[in-house]
């Protein structure tokens, strides 16, 4: 196993271009830890508190899964709090191997990957408008991104990381709010581009503004924006929120892939 990736690895990930779009983007940046055999297994961890990504081809053999388990157990142990994003067959293998080792591993989150080839306008009207954030919105952007992490149940990154993300997406004109008719910030999201894909992330609505279709209209207009810029819009959703997923499907999102996050339960 090599501590680097090459063009072959990106060709492999392209087999799962939607479900592993984030991994592709991570590998193009700086990572704390990478292992790849350039054929059937790629493991990658950017930094804490983010999850480790494990790519395997569909129908991979148990020898590959055992290699993944041994590397994970040695380098990024689940019992030390690391989470892993992977396909369901590999997750089931990890759960079984954990049971054999006295480790209680469970599926922490089920994720759907969608793309949107043809955006469709929401059929429910709402008030307000899409707003592209500027430098003067930095503090508010950091607060709302922090709220997103807290409410989603994800391990929140340090505030410094939220500031860094807000600054980056603002500079790229990729961070958006939905402003209500009276000018208040109700929702937010941003997008990141990787090759031909634009992933829409951190879709969040403040509790007092929910069920007013703000997020649906915001995502639709951001989706239109990235589509008109020549990218294929995509996003990840939590499979356990069917109502939210149905909203995305109504504006043209199509389910393309599934993966899960596993974690050790103390």
Same domain? 103 vs 154:
no
Please state the rounded mean pLDDT for residues 56-61.
Answer: 95
Q: Is residue 266 part of a domain?
A: no
pLDDT tier at 61, thresholds 50, 70, 90: very high
- Between CA 149 and CA 263 the distance in angstroms is 17
Residue span of the structural domain in which 177 resides: 129-250
Same domain? 214 vs 106:
no
Bridge partners of 187, per DSSP, are 178, 205
Same domain? 160 vs 95:
no
Q: Is residue 42 part of a domain?
A: yes
Six token digits for residue 81: 């709090």
Q: At what angle do helices 62-75 and 88-100 cross, to 10 degrees?
A: 60
What values do phi and psi take at 6, rounded to 5? -135, -170
Q: Is residue 261 part of a domain?
A: no
Q: What is the mean pLDDT of the chain?
A: 94
Q: Is residue 105 part of a domain?
A: yes
Q: What is the pLDDT of residue 266?
A: 78
Same domain? 105 vs 173:
no
147 burial via Cβ count (<10 Å: 0-12, 13-18, 19+): middle
Q: Is residue 146 part of a domain?
A: yes
Quick one: DSSP state of residue 32? Answer: S
- Between CA 193 and CA 200 the distance in angstroms is 9
Is the pTM of the predicted complex or chain greater than 0.75? yes
Q: What is the pLDDT of residue 49?
A: 84
Q: ω into residue 204 within 30 of 0, thus cis?
A: no
DSSP string, 34-73: EEE-SSS-EEEE-STTSPEEEE--TT--HHHHHHHHHHHH
Number of domains in the chain: 2
Same domain? 161 vs 217:
yes
Q: With 80 as the cut, is the pLDDT of residue 173 above it?
A: yes
Same domain? 146 vs 238:
yes
Q: Is residue 262 part of a domain?
A: no
In CATH, what number is assigned to the domain containing residue 232? Answer: 3.40.630.30
Q: Is residue 206 part of a domain?
A: yes
């Amino acid at each position: 196993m090599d501590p680097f990736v090459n063009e072959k690895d990106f060709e492999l990930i392209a087999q799962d271009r939607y479900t592993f779009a984030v991994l592709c983007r991570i590998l193009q940046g700086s990572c704390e830890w990478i292992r790849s055999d350039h054929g059937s297994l790629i493991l990658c961890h950017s930094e804490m508190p983010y999850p480790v990504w494990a790519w395997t081809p569909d129908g991979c053999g148990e020898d590959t899964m055992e290699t993944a388990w041994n590397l994970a157990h040695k380098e990024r142990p689940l019992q030390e709090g690391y989470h892993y994003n992977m396909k369901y067959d590999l997750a089931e293998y990890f759960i079984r191997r954990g049971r054999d080792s006295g480790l209680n591993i469970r599926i922490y989150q089920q994720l759907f990957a969608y793309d949107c080839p043809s955006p469709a306008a929401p059929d429910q009207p709402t008030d307000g408008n899409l707003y592209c954030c500027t430098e003067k919105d930095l503090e508010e952007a950091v607060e709302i991104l922090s709220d997103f992490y807290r409410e989603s149940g994800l391990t929140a990154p340090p505030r410094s990381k939220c500031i860094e993300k807000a600054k980056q997406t603002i500079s790229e004109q990729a961070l958006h709010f939905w402003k209500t008719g009276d000018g208040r910030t109700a929702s937010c999201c941003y997008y990141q581009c990787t090759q031909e894909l634009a992933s829409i992330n951190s879709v969040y609505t403040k509790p007092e503004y929910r069920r007013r279709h703000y997020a649906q209209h915001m995502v639709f207009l951001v989706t239109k924006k990235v589509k008109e810029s020549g990218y294929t819009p995509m996003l990840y959703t939590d499979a356990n929120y069917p109502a939210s997923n149905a909203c995305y499907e109504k504006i043209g999102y199509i389910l393309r892939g599934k993966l899960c996050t596993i974690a050790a339960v103390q």
